[in-house]
Amino acid sequence: MSNERPRVLDPVDRASEVVFGLLMALTFTGSISVATAGHDEVRTMMAEALGCNLAWGLTDAVMYLVGIATERSRGAKLLARLRATADDAAAHALIAETLPPRIAAVADSDELELLRRRLLASRDRRAHPLGRDDFLGALGVFLLVVLATFPVVIPFAVLDTTALALRVSNAVALVTLFAAGWTLARHAGARAWVGGVVMAALGTVLVGAIIALGG
């Protein structure tokens, strides 16, 4: 048996949080006017972008913990309902409701009964409290959202020309979006380069829409 610890965040979580943080930062860099922006405006933009992602990173981290606690409570309630249900068909229906639709559609009564017996044999009757790995996951969510800010704002800090900084920032953003799409596509078993191109294009459209809507 392998002693390797499972990853706290899966590839979908990591890529999604990076994309979210990146898009939030791009709504600020995309609002900079190349023709009129001075050093004060650029510094204000950078501070606002970082502040926004700090707030959203904290919000995402808290909601990550809320989601875990909710799912554990749901699992404990399911186990309690199974213990109180004598009817096999009703018990199987309860289990099927918790499975992904595609798996539930092909699971027969024997397989559902096996799951039922294993669940009933479990000694865990209560929802586990949040633990170390959960808080590490929340910290990871927070850091991913916040750190995604820096690649697109650093060019404004190191380059004197706003126009050049904006071009470099946008190029870095496209590369990052492509990498996130690549990661998601590989995880899904699809063509990685197609996922990268789609994510880069989708991210560009989303940023434009967010800015147009006043975000």
Which pLDDT tens digit goes with each residue over 26-63? Answer: 888 877 765 456 677 888 888 999 999 999 999 999 99
8 A C-beta contact, residue 177 and residue 23: no
Residue 126 confidence (pLDDT): 67
Q: Judge whether 205 lies within some domain.
A: yes
Cα separation, 194 vs 106, in Å, equals: 30
Q: Judge whether 195 lies within some domain.
A: yes
Q: Is the pTM of this model over 0.85?
A: no
Q: Could you tell me where the beta strands, DSSP code E, fall in 102-191?
A: none
Residue 147 confidence (pLDDT): 94
* Predicted confidence (pLDDT) at residue 138 exceeds the cutoff of 50: yes
Q: Which residues form the domain of 179?
A: 11-212
Q: Judge whether 1 lies within some domain.
A: no
Cα separation, 48 vs 55, in Å, equals: 11
Residue 54 confidence (pLDDT): 95
Average pLDDT of 61-75? 92
* Predicted confidence (pLDDT) at residue 215 exceeds the cutoff of 70: no
33, two tokens: 């006017």
* Predicted confidence (pLDDT) at residue 204 exceeds the cutoff of 90: no
Q: Judge whether 3 lies within some domain.
A: no
Q: Judge whether 173 lies within some domain.
A: yes
Average pLDDT of 66-70? 93
The percent of the chain in helix, strand and coil, each rounded to the nearest 5, is: 80, 0, 20
Buried b (16+ CB within 10 A) or exposed e, 3-40: eeeeebbeeebbbbbbbbbbbbbbbbbbbbeeeebeee
Residue 181 confidence (pLDDT): 93
8 A C-beta contact, residue 214 and residue 46: no
8 A C-beta contact, residue 100 and residue 121: no
Number of domains, the chain: 1
Average pLDDT of 196-211? 86
Q: Judge whether 155 lies within some domain.
A: yes
Q: Judge whether 6 lies within some domain.
A: no
* 116-125, 133-142, 206-215, range with the lowest pLDDT: 206-215
Q: Judge whether 4 lies within some domain.
A: no
